Amino acid sequence: MDLTFRNARLIDPETGTEDIGDLYVVAGRIAEAPSETAQPIDCNGKCLAPGIVDLGVKVSEPGERHKESFRSAGRAAARGGVTTIVTRPDTDPAIDTPEVLEFVARRAEVDAQVRVAHMAALTKGRDGREMVEIGFLQDAGAVAFTDCDRVVTDTRVLQRALTYAAGLSALVVGHAQEPILSRGAAATSGKFASLYGLSGVSPMAERMVLDRDVSLLEMTGAAYHVDQITTARALPSLERAKRNGLNLTAGVGIHHLTLNEFDVSGYRSFFKLKPPLRSEDDRLAVVEAVANGLIDVICSMHTPQDEESKRLPFEEAASGAVGLETLLPAALRLVHAGHLTLPQLWRALSMNPAKRLGLNAGALSPGTPADLVLFDANAPFVLDREMLASKSKNTPFDGARMEGKVLGTWVGGVQVFDA
């Protein structure tokens, strides 16, 4: 069905503008003019933006479907204004062969309400010993390669994988946490961790791996994306690498942009993340890096964990939080606080991840698929985790006062969520 969105506050990350106007959808794509049969939708001045492209979502198929399935993740994404989820390969088994990738791709196509792109593992079993068949996995549809939070410690293996990826123009996604220093860490080292008796890891653990990987990029010329930069200490290395012309981008999870280490008080395990929450100085430095474009991508780092994994003593509890439905209202905190404009935010949420992965998404220009989110940026609510569509309910925002409600989500011009 062709559509005409009238009286919308159009958030355009390409032009950096937000203006009241109309948007036309013809045959599932954004058009320059309406069709005669278009159905009008009055947006009443609410925000209309490209659908969010969420880079780094864990869907627990295969292996742990009780935590999250493609059906539940797709429903959560639609409710959160996410029109493309880019899945991680840290499943059981890992997505490290074309056969496993084809299996999850079929599941996603049948069950998910939104678009799904898949990353594959960089090494077999994510064990860091032998690289996967990058070319075959590319042919099967992999958009990037990553071992997720398992850092490849064998530098020779990583160098070979980056060299091979460079030859195939494949994107490698890395995790910047020195694994020995980070082993068993539940918090960022400092006075707060000491006060609470929590094992900590220095912020330098992030920079150490980033510096190593930047050196390998200079050797290999590979395309590389750091999944999360969360500390001020790592930012000079990132800035220097970009200034030197390396093919490098960086992301950050929404929880590290909106929470800090003090939120762990009370040993609330829903706030246990990987990497751990940082100091307020680190949080503000990373927010500024998003604002000035040094950090390119904001993602949810959606990591579902069941109650049995989270209802444990803090140091024993599993890391991670769900984020598909809370990504938009949490990110709007940065707008309401004056750190970002809406076009700046959508550049990081939608346009930049789409460009980095080569996806035709994240824009309002004619010819782009009509993947759209309509939202009220100022609508207040109190989050109830039991109302989330995700199978797992491990959100740190349970009971939090938030602003920003999704009113409707469209994928290819088809409405997949209506509030």
Give how far Cα 105 sits from Cα of 99, 125, 297, 372, 412, Å. 10, 19, 24, 23, 19
Contact 394, 270 (CB under 8 A): yes
**Domains in the chain, ordered, with CATH?**
51-363+378-400 (3.20.20.140)
Angle at which helix 235-243 crosses helix 280-291, to 10 degrees, equals: 20
For 20-59, the pLDDT digits (tens) are 999 999 999 999 999 999 999 999 999 999 999 999 999 9
Residues 98-108 have pLDDT tens digits of: 999 999 999 99
CA 300 from centre of chain: 4
Q: Which residue has the tokens 């992301």?
A: 251
What residue type is 213 in one-letter code? D
Residue 16's pLDDT band, with cuts at 50, 70 and 90, is very high
Distance CA 356, CA 368 (A): 16
Q: Is the pLDDT of residue 357 over 90?
A: yes
Do the beta carbons of residue 320 and residue 273 sit within 8 Å? yes
Print the SS3 string covering 342-407: HHHHHHHHHHHHHHHHCCCCCCCCCCCECCEEEEEEEEEEECCHHHCCCCCCCCCCCCCEEEEEEE
Mean pLDDT calculated for residue range 255-281: 96
DSSP state of 70: H
pLDDT exceeds 90 at position 1: no
Which of the 8 DSSP states describes residue 37? T
The predicted-structure confidence for 164-220, as pLDDT tens digits, reads as follows: 999 999 999 999 999 999 999 999 999 999 999 999 999 999 999 999 999 999 999
CA distance 390 to 268: 20
Does 2 score more than 90 pLDDT? yes
State both tokens at 310: 């989270």
Torsion of CA 46, 81, 4, 10, to 10 degrees: 50
Biggest distance spanned by C-alpha atoms of the chain: 67
